[in-house]
Amino acid sequence: MRLIDLFNTLKSRDQMAQLAADLARRSQADVSATIGSRVQRMGIAEARGYVRARARGVLESHLDVLLRQPNLFKPGLRATLIEDALERTIIWVVGQKLKTEPVRQQRLAA
């Protein structure tokens, strides 16, 4: 691989990561509205699966809006972008869930 090809690949990955982060950030309010407080009663693994299933449609609709902007990125990378944004969304939701749990966990440990 030539150095310029490596540079372009790395630049492309950075752009994709940036786009996925932006997509996840733009979708947070709609994802929250979609999942509600249901994940608070779930274990971590169950919450991850639930968010993955419910947030996918929200992320896809937000991505469709972004895709209307010409030359944003190659359409073939749509699935990769959705998966990356989905992982970021799951991390965010589970992080929010864990922020409310330490008090409960401390009570159980006592």
pLDDT attached to residue 13: 77
Confidence label for 72 from pLDDT (cuts 50, 70 and 90): low
- Torsion angle, CA of 9/76/18/97, rounded to 10 degrees? -130
pLDDT attached to residue 98: 83
CA distances from 82 to 5, 44, 58 (A): 25, 21, 10
**Does 51 score more than 80 pLDDT?**
yes
pLDDT attached to residue 103: 57
